Homo-oligomer: A and B are copies of this chain.
Amino acid sequence: MSHNPTDTFEIKKAATSKIDSVDFENLPFGSIFTDHMMYCDYKDGQWGTPVIEPYAPIPMDPSSRVFHYGQAIFEGMKAYKDEQDEIWLFRPDQNFIRFNKSATRLAMPEVPEPVFMEGLKQLINIDKDWVKKGKGNSLYLRPFMIATGHGVIASPSAQYRFMIIMSPAKSYYQGEVKVLIAEHYSRAANGGIGAAKAAGNYSAQFYPTRLANEQGYQQVIWTDDATHTKLEEAGTMNVFFKINDTLYTAPTSERILDGVTRKSILELAKRDNIKLEVRSVLVAELLEAAKDGSLKEIFGAGTAAVINPIIGFAYQDNYYELPKQENPIALEIKDKLTNIQHKLAEDTFGWTVKI
């Protein structure tokens, strides 16, 4: 009988918890981690026994491929605790599918579903006290995979580590966000890895974003790299535009991430008869709409912030401030989504999954 290495988890519990030292009312995003971490190593063509052990540094050979050739992918997810102390995930199947799509694009092995899903469940259960009740509270989950094989040869690694770490989070509010529309820099190429949640996509954005910051803009709205005429993403989020009474967002492509929040908004809009068109919005259209007053809202959509309203944008040295809305669709959608996530509204979609 062959041994299935994912049948059992090897669990080493921490002797003490650091939870009492954490101020859950003042949580810097993504900086404090729970007592445990989960990992599973891939070598000789197969996955080993998943391990849960106390959160701690991991020893890495200096020639590990991730340091030199960037084979690294991740997912961002959240767990929520309802008033009955049940813990819920939001569409984890979508993250799992996307994770393995990213893996394939980066020439990394797919992670077996039990390693990913049971890994999440077992780790959350062990650190369940870190998930706090109340809207706005969540436990941010970070599954990721790195190339751990040794050698400075530019070819795919033969060894990998899949890991999950978790960080308690308050609702993520970035303040009033102004964005700069990219005229020169870009985040993704046709035939590139822009659709993957690959580490390399993010580091490419830091320098242009820093330049935007220095001009007073918190984020960049990325445009297509060939013509810089199509609006594609806002920072690390998918972007939506409300022109007159219709929402617009770009179709997914090799340059655009297939965001879980983005696709949930699409389904929500369909259910609730919110007018929404999936098509590229041109920079020229946005300028026209800003000038004639038909541009009502812009917002980013992603797991960390859920919805991130944008108050204005700059393009070619002109700044366009959006009109203040009485009942912005951005907040309506955010409320609907977070109510489903926190089990405060009926989940007619079957998106929430109990741990």
Hey, which bits of chain A sit against chain B, CB under 8 A?
28-31, 33, 37, 55, 57-63, 66-72, 74, 76, 104-107, 140, 142, 144, 146-147, 150-156, 163, 165, 167, 182, 184-193, 198-210, 225-228, 235-236
Contacts and interface: CB of A to CB of B under 8 A. Distances in A.
Given A186-B191, A188-B189, A202 B68 contact: yes
Nearest to A206: B107
B59 A206 contact: no
A168 to B, nearest CB: 12
Given A62-B37, A226-B190, A142 B146 contact: no
Given A210-B107, A226-B225, A69 B203 contact: yes
B106 A207 contact: yes
Given A193-B203, A226-B227, 20 more contacts: A31-B151, A31-B153, A57-B59, A57-B60, A57-B61, A67-B72, A67-B144, A68-B199, A70-B72, A70-B202, A105-B207, A107-B209, A154-B202, A154-B205, A185-B191, A188-B189, A190-B225, A192-B192, A192-B204, A199-B200
Contact of A30 (B62, B144, B151, B156): B151
A354 to B, nearest CB: 25
